[in-house]
Amino acid sequence: MFTPAIASITPNNGPINGGQIVNIMGTNLENPMFVQFGNTKIVSFFDNVASTKICFVTPFGTSGPVNVTVENADGTSNILEYTYNVSPSLPTVTSVSPSNGTANTHVTITGSGFFGGFYVSNNLNGYQTNNTTYNGINNNPFQSVVQSLTINGQILSTQGNNGQNNFIVTNDSQIKILAMPYNPDGIYNIIINTLYGSSVASVNSKFMYVAQPFSIIKISPDYGSSDGGDKITISGVGFSKFHSIINQGNNGLNPNSMTVMFGKIPASFIVVDQDIIATLPSNIFRKKYVDVTVMNNYAKVVEKFEYCDILPIIKNIFPCEGCEGDIVKIKGKNFTNIVSVFFGSKEAKIISVEDSKSIRVVAPKNCGEVEVVINRSNIPINSPLINNSNNNNSPVLLPFENNNKGMLFSSKIDNKSLFNYLDENYNE
């Protein structure tokens, strides 16, 4: 074995809170006793499989240069310098999940700068051996530098008065808060306090306290026409409170109203108690199933919604003119669960629904040019409320319980849905 020699240190500078991986390149570097890094003896290495390289993590330090040498049984290497930068790496918060909830909610904070580097040696100079593992290598070179968290002026230390942990720093980029402390409803920043400073409040560090969790219970109806325009009720928990908090702009937050999306299309809406009444946007992307999303910058809940072409569509009326009592055939689509057919204000007698594309009716008494409208229900035709077992296969509409016809969908009016009466001697 020969005396080690150092050719380079890469990088040769880093933060005073340590934690930076450094490579020493040189010769005769195999089997080192330790690396003298300023006043710290480093005895644990990531990579020491060759005689030309040593890899380790920097310990804590103070600003300015420190001498670095490698020592083995034959002697001590030449000296190279590593410089600790004046400004330490401050912690940052990139996300808080979940971003809303009540007291006692378990929260995960993601960011950086939660760990710093340190080294302990095998009882050299009073240091004690660390028996943890990092990347499969004994002696973890990192430790938490987080001292506390601040939420709405409350200091949350690692350990509470009951001896239980308030939060756990799992690694350099993650902190788990085991139970959020109580706070009034509102939006507050979670600040990370470390040995070297505190994180800066940002939109990513906010947590919203609500009296109840923010969630969707049901959407009624959970389907609608691709043409849009239907009123959709989104029932949930916390919508009214959530909407109120967001629009207050708590703690300097710029007000951000809730957004309701059907797929990628925003919907207009109002909030009534705990319900959102949304106007269904048209299905311009022609997706059968979309996500209904209620969200703002701090929370999001999602539920499924089905677009279906459920409106009856009239494509042709033959004949398109005639008199009372004439048999009229209407062609189109979505002619299922038909409840009624109207010629203007007069209801026509349905003779048969031949399939989902064709209906035969008897023209009622009327005059002039009238609009023909077909109404269908969301109650199946074979339900107890509707019966089509008569001899000519036409639907017989039975009395509806409590006058409940289900949800009715009416065909739209255009130039294909007009019928012209030829009898000018019409009398009511």
**How are beta strands 186-194 and 146-151 bridged, if at all?**
antiparallel
pLDDT score for 349 = 94
Identify the CATH class of 215-307.
Answer: mainly beta
CATH 2.60.40.10 range(s) for the chain read 5-84, 92-209, 215-307, 313-421
Cα 265 → chain centroid: 16
pLDDT of 303 higher than 60:
yes
pLDDT score for 406 = 58
What would the mean pLDDT of 234-261 be, rounded to a whole number?
60
Query: In the chain, what percentage of residues exceed pLDDT 70?
Result: 75
170, 171, 175, 178 alpha-carbon torsion, rounded to 10°: 0
- What's the CATH architecture for 92-209? Sandwich (2.60)
Band (428; pLDDT cuts 50, 70, 90)? low
* Omega of the bond leading into 91 within 30 degrees of 0 (cis): no
Considering just the CA atoms, what is the radius of gyration of the chain in Å?
37
* Omega of the bond leading into 184 within 30 degrees of 0 (cis): no
Q: What is the pLDDT of residues 66-75, one digit of tens each?
A: 999 999 888 9
346, 352, 357, 363 alpha-carbon torsion, rounded to 10°: -30
pLDDT score for 252 = 35
pLDDT of 9 higher than 90:
yes
Measured distance CA(172)–CA(110) in Å, rounded: 9
Band (117; pLDDT cuts 50, 70, 90)? low
pLDDT score for 163 = 58
Two structure tokens written together for 253: 């937050």
Task: Tell whether the torsion through CA atoms of 285, 286, 288 and 293 is positive or negative.
Answer: positive
The fold of 5-84 is Immunoglobulin-like (2.60.40)
Residue count of the chain, please give it. Answer: 428
* Omega of the bond leading into 399 within 30 degrees of 0 (cis): no
* Omega of the bond leading into 221 within 30 degrees of 0 (cis): yes
Nearest in space to 183 (alpha carbons), one of 247, 100, 110? 100
pLDDT of 296 higher than 80:
no
Q: What is the 3-state secondary structure (H, E, C) of the chain?
A: CCCCEEEEEECCEECCCCCCEEEEEEECCCCCCEEEECCEEECCCCECCCCCEEEEECCCCCCEEEEEEEEECCEECCCEEEEECCCCCCCEEEEEECCEECCCCCEEEEEECCEEECCCCCCHHHCCCCCCEECCEECCCEEECEEEEEECCEEEECECCCCCECEEEEECCEEEECCCCCCCCEEEEEEEEECCEECCCCHHHEEEECCCCCEEEEEECCEECCCCCCEEEEEEECHHHHHHHHHHCHHHCCCCCCEEEECCEEECEEEECCEEEEECCCCCCCCCEEEEEEECCCCEEEEEEEECCCCCEEEEEECCEECCCCEEEEEEECCCCEEEEEECCEEEEEEEEEECCEEEEECCCCCCEEEEEEEEECCCCCCCCEECCCCCCCCEECCCHHHCCCCEEECCCCCCCEEEECCCCCCC
**Superfamily in which the 313-421 domain is placed by CATH:** Immunoglobulins (2.60.40.10)
Measured distance CA(302)–CA(237) in Å, rounded: 13
pLDDT score for 346 = 94
Q: What is the pLDDT of residues 275-286, one digit of tens each?
A: 899 999 988 887
By the 8 A CB rule, do 376 and 336 touch? yes
pLDDT of 194 higher than 80:
yes
More confident residue, 255 or 411: 411
